[in-house]
Amino acid sequence: MSASTQSEATAESTELEIKNVLLVDDDVDLANTLKLLLESHNFIVTTSCNGADALREVMAFDFDVVICDMMMPKMAGDMFYLAVQKIKPYMTPRFLFVTGHADNPKVDSFLKSIDAEVVFKPVLTEELVRMISLVLRRAEDEAKSASA
């Protein structure tokens, strides 16, 4: 098998693997809509309505992608991220933030400080799926460089 054929086969097998997504958003209607959308793209989706509940989910399972709203009750997205960074730092490259607060200086500052991947509301299907693929590649690259 040539190197290009091997890499194509590897890319295909990665795409065929079912990925587990944690979706953290306090907007229940949006979360349910995104859950259905992601499940139609063969993702297994666990939803959580705030960072505190999501932290319990992360303690119990290593998700492939964490889609996280920034503004939520109990624990905002930035605090959730920082908590995950302390307990499971290897999961931080798996974050994709979703926010409707693009003009909020605190949100903007935080996202820039961690070089975050972000999707702005209203969320477009194609953009969300594209960004999830980007996060999966980024997390895979981080894992490879950490083990090297």
Cis peptide before 89 (omega within 30 of 0): no
Domain contains 49: yes
Domain contains 53: yes
Domain contains 132: yes
Q: What is the pLDDT of residues 75-93, one digit of tens each?
A: 999 999 999 999 999 999 9
Instruction: State the average pLDDT over residues 114-140.
Output: 92
In this structure, what CATH number is given to the domain that contains residue 134? 3.40.50.2300
Query: Rounded to an integer, what distance in angstroms lies between the CA atom of residue 94 and that of residue 20?
Result: 11
The predicted structure's pLDDT at residue 8: 40
pTM: 0.86
Domain contains 94: yes
Domain contains 38: yes
Is pLDDT above 70 for 9?
no
The pair of structure tokens assigned to 34 is: 């995104």
The predicted structure's pLDDT at residue 67: 98
Query: Rounded to an integer, what distance in angstroms lies between the CA atom of residue 18 and that of residue 50?
Result: 25
**What is the count of structural domains for the chain?**
1
- End-to-end Cα separation, the chain, in angstroms: 25
Burial letters 94-119, b for 16+ CB under 10 A, else e: bbbbbbbeeeeeebeebbeeeebbbb
Q: What is the pLDDT of residues 44-66, one digit of tens each?
A: 999 999 999 999 999 999 999 99
